[in-house]
Structure 1
Amino acid sequence: MKIDELVSSINGLKGLKASKGITKDIIYIYPSTRNKYGYFLELDFGAGSWDEVVFDWCCLDGVRPNTLGKVLELVDEFLRTPIKERFLEKKYRLALLPDDSGYKNYLCVSNGLWRLSTQKYNDSFFTESDIEELKKCYPEKVDLIDAMKEPVEDN
């Protein structure tokens, strides 16, 4: 689960708010009757376990037990998400079979024009949502598009 997805999911629950810290990589979860400094749960973006979550049970006023249970489920899903996957969308290159010289060909788009290149240009990547959009445009090529996906490693 991504950071913004967690915040959005919690903000969709009745009687609760979640917001990101301004100067810290933290999510504050609090009753909608309070501000973020009246949080009952503080969660660092890089937290890896429940031991790293800060609780203040005194600030639970007005939070229904079933709503609290949903929050804890969402936070648990967030904690089980690898830290690298919590941030931006994954990026992929679309790679084709190697040419006669043995170089992989990559599908690139620039200014609306599609081309093939043997170079891994910085801008020749597609996000997961770009790829989903391609699949909608070319439903008969879904398996091919999935087979072409090659994760871009951030340097």
Structure 2
Amino acid sequence: MKIKEAIEVINGSTITVLAEESNGFLHMYRRGFEVCANWFLEMPIDATNWDSICSDWDCLSNIEPQDLARAMDVIQRLLDTPVEERFPEKKYQLVVKRENPFCPKYVSNIITGFDELVFDLSKDEKEARIFSEKELNQIKEREPSLAPAIDAMKKEVKDDED
């Protein structure tokens, strides 16, 4: 389960609990009391067990039991998810700045053959291929001499969801 998904599940399925991420922590509040000091659960987003989760049971007043159960279930699902899988994978475009730095070209495809390597380029950013970090690492492993160029061309693509 991803952090964003956990927040959406809690906020979309509970009446008295609100979840928010801030400063590396997932906080659970009583709805209407979203002040830093009024959380009842504080989970480091890289927590791997319940021992690292802080609780302040004094802030539990007026929380519905089913909402608390939902929050605890979601936390357990997060704890069961490896830390590196809790965050969306970064996505990149490869940008080549040729001739004119104000008119970049975008890699729309990479074609590899037995004895060839071709970069298809486009002036239109909408035609640029979006690569995951994993895909770029695979290309760099296959073609180690390209690694510095790929690293220089990487431009992170932000999803609307992030």
Question: Normalised by the size of structure 2, how large is the TM-score?
Answer: 0.59
- Partner secondary structure for residue 46 of structure 2: coil
User: Which entry has the higher C-alpha Rg, 1 or 2?
Assistant: 2
Shift of 1:89: 2.8
**Partner residue of 2:67?**
67
**C-alpha contact 1:91 1:151 (8 A) present in aligned 2:** no
Once superposed, what is the RMSD of the aligned Cα atoms? Answer: 3.3
Call closer, same or farther: CA 1:79–1:110 in 2, change over 3 Å. farther
- Partner secondary structure for residue 27 of structure 2: strand
Query: Per-residue CA shift, 1:68-97, capped at 9, x if unaligned?
Result: 1111110111111111111223659xx999
**Whole-Å separation in 2 of the counterparts to 1:107 and 1:85:** 31
**C-alpha contact 1:109 1:124 (8 A) present in aligned 2:** no
**Partner residue of 2:113?**
99
Q: Runs ≥4 in structure 1, deviation > 4 angstroms?
A: 95-98, 105-110, 150-153
Q: Which runs of 5+ in 1 are unaligned?
A: 115-122, 128-149
Question: Normalised by the size of structure 1, how large is the TM-score?
Answer: 0.61
- Read off the aligned partner of 1:125 and give its amino acid letter: F
**Partner residue of 1:31?**
30
**Whole-Å separation in 1 of the counterparts to 2:123 and 2:78:** 35
**C-alpha contact 2:89 2:132 (8 A) present in aligned 1:** no
Alignment of 1:2-151 (within 5 A): 2-12=2-12, 13-21=14-22, 24-36=23-35, 37-89=37-89, 91=91, 99-101=113-115, 111=124, 112-113=126-127, 124-126=130-132, 151=135
Bigger shift: residues 31-40 or 52-61: 31-40
**Whole-Å separation in 1 of the counterparts to 2:130 and 2:34:** 43
**Whole-Å separation in 2 of the counterparts to 1:108 and 1:4:** 34
Q: Which runs of 5+ in 2 are unaligned?
A: 93-108, 138-150, 152-162
Call closer, same or farther: CA 1:109–1:7 in 2, change over 3 Å. farther
**Whole-Å separation in 1 of the counterparts to 2:121 and 2:81:** 30
Shift of 1:98: 5.4
